[in-house]
Amino acid sequence: VETEGWVGVGIAKNKESGMVASDICYVTGEGNVVDAHADTVGTPIADESQDWVLRDRTVEDGVTTIQLTRPLTTTDPHDLAFPTSGDANFIVAYGDDSHTKITYHGAR
Banded pLDDT at 106 (limits 50, 70, 90): low
Can you give the pLDDT at residue 26? 95
53-81 burial: b if 16+ Cβ within 10 Å, else e: eeeeeeeeeeebebebebeeebebebbbe
Q: For residue 83, which of 13, 30, 4 has the smallest C-alpha distance?
A: 13
Measured distance CA(87)–CA(80) in Å, rounded: 14
**Beta strand pairing call for 22-27 and 7-11:** antiparallel
Can you give the pLDDT at residue 59? 92
Per-residue pLDDT tens over the stretch 69-89: 999 999 999 999 998 999 889
Per-residue pLDDT tens over the stretch 13-66: 888 888 899 999 999 988 999 999 999 888 899 999 999 999 999 999 999 999
Can you give the pLDDT at residue 102? 76
Measured distance CA(8)–CA(93) in Å, rounded: 5
Can you give the pLDDT at residue 10? 93
